[in-house]
Amino acid sequence: MGDLLRLDPHPTARNAAVAKTPIKAGSTIMSVPAFSTCLLLTEKGRRCDGCYMLKSEAVELMRCSGCASSWYCGTTCQNREWRLHHRKMCKHYNAFVASGQYQALTPHDKVDALLLSQLVADPEAWGTDRLTDAGRTFLNLLKVPRLDGFVPPLCLSRAAQTAGTVALAEDLYSRFGNNNFILHSHLTSYAHGVFPLASRLLNHSCVPNAACKYMLAPSEPVRMEVVALRDINEGDEVTIPYLDPALPFQTRQDALHVNYGFECGCRLCTFERRIERVPTPPMRGAEELRTLDAALRSFSLGDISQDVQVPTVPGSFERLPAVLLPVLHESYLPALSEAFSKTSHEGPYSEAIDSGLTLLAFYVMLYPPNYPQIGMHALELATTLWNLTCTDASAMAGADEEQLKRHAKTALDFAASVLQNFGPEGDNGGPLEEVSVLTGMLAEQ
């Protein structure tokens, strides 16, 4: 379990992982290799099926000569995957994925069907005398079977699908929905994975103090690292988000209830549960909505007619005044995000600035400090503002170029501090590199 965490009893979640010692923001709380992972089908052929490195000039992928449906960066990954499960699945893979039973599955269930097949590919490995620590931990995880009783079909020979194997598959799968992880690089998902120790330890909060990232290295299995988003006191529970805390309240409750079997009692859910009715916001484009957006910006970011203030009190939703409650309505965030992505590409640029700043204000109000989404958006906003200063668009936006640059610099400094706290992850390049390029360009001004 490492030096940092211990398991304490929890009234409803069985256990809670508690900090044994103070943990500094940005520290790695735990680092564990994957027990088993499976690529999203859309990533097949783009990444090595073993280490998930992206195909590039430096990483050439070779196809498996058996199924021609798996790709490897070299013999280390190919041999490891073969030994773990591919030797049992290779011959059946193409017929399996072409079958009606498989084709009828959702994209999520398709990946889980292959991941489950990988896990049961060697039923003998699950015998009590052969269990690894990770296997033992996985079998000790809480179960939340699917309400519809569904268990995916297996990509194995008929002979391998004995009553024992099918029962094992059911047993393992009953832990998938509430324990497995979706692997992502810079907020883009690429695989599903099983990390038993992380599952055993980490409970959910919509106001988490930690978050997971996935480290890729050539020829190595993926590692999960859990990073402290803020300073954590000795005795505090360490929690991660099982879903995006910015999802609407009811969507979060339904997902946590159905997939994980619990009712969330975090600060955000407690706050939102007390609101009797979230008022519907005005339509996008209406003057009243401009007023609401401006009030949210000023609540989270201070007086931005001067300069964007680096927010000092993230996660301040509990202080939201009644007039700002419509921003919690399920329609508000999707419409705001859409307005920013549309106007930042097509203009009008004055609206891109407004919606980009409002979105930053929303994220800062709702997410905990240093939440990666805040940093990613602050970087996108800084890039948009910088691009405006380099084109005639600044005149179109009616903005003063010096002020745009100052806004860009503040958004960039903010992005840098959030993203540096989270640290590098996933694919090469990415936001930290973009931060340093943009910092260089702004410094030249």
Whole-angstrom CA distances from 13 to 93, 260, 264, 389 are 38, 10, 11, 51
Looking at the Cβ atoms of 239 and 421, the one nearer to ligand SAM is: 239
Chain centroid offset of residue 407 CA: 28
Interface residue with ligand SAM, options 36, 78, 178, 370 (CB under 6 A): 178
Q: Torsion angle, CA of 172/255/341/371, rounded to 10 degrees?
A: -80
Among the candidate windows 202-210, 278-286, 340-348, 354-362, which touches ligand SAM by CB under 6 A? 202-210
Q: Region of 356 please: left (phi>0), alpha (psi -120 to 50) or beta.
A: alpha
Q: Does 24 bind ligand SAM (CB under 6 A)?
A: no
Of 409, 407, 405, give the one whose Cα is nearest residue 417. Answer: 409
In one-letter notation, the amino acid at residue 37 is T
Strand 203-204 vs strand 239-240: parallel, antiparallel, or unpaired? parallel
Closest approach of ligand SAM to the CB of residue 127, in Å: 23
Interface residue with ligand SAM, options 260, 386, 414, 422 (CB under 6 A): 260
Q: Does 328 bind ligand SAM (CB under 6 A)?
A: no
Looking at the Cβ atoms of 241 and 281, the one nearer to ligand SAM is: 241
Interface residue with ligand SAM, options 67, 97, 134, 262 (CB under 6 A): 262
Closest approach of ligand SAM to the CB of residue 353, in Å: 38
Closest approach of ligand SAM to the CB of residue 308, in Å: 34
Residue 242's SS3 state is: coil
Residue 62's SS3 state is: strand
Give the separation between CA 34 and CA 433, rounded to whole angstroms.
26
Q: Does 366 bind ligand SAM (CB under 6 A)?
A: no
Closest approach of ligand SAM to the CB of residue 141, in Å: 5
Looking at the Cβ atoms of 179 and 383, the one nearer to ligand SAM is: 179
Angle (nearest 5°) at CA 186 between 182 and 188: 50
Looking at the Cβ atoms of 96 and 260, the one nearer to ligand SAM is: 260
CB-based contact 222:51 (threshold 8 Å): yes
Closest approach of ligand SAM to the CB of residue 261, in Å: 5
Looking at the Cβ atoms of 203 and 343, the one nearer to ligand SAM is: 203
Count of residues binding ligand SAM (CB under 6 A)? 19
Closest approach of ligand SAM to the CB of residue 432, in Å: 29
Give the separation between CA 114 and CA 6, rounded to whole angstroms.
33
Q: Does 264 bind ligand SAM (CB under 6 A)?
A: yes
Give the separation between CA 364 and CA 381, rounded to whole angstroms.
14
Is residue 148 classed exposed, middle or buried when 0-12, 13-18 and 19+ CB atoms within 10 A define those classes?
exposed
Q: Does 200 bind ligand SAM (CB under 6 A)?
A: yes
Q: Does 180 bind ligand SAM (CB under 6 A)?
A: no
Positions in the binding site for ligand SAM (CB under 6 A): 12-15, 141-142, 144, 178-179, 199-200, 202-205, 260-262, 264
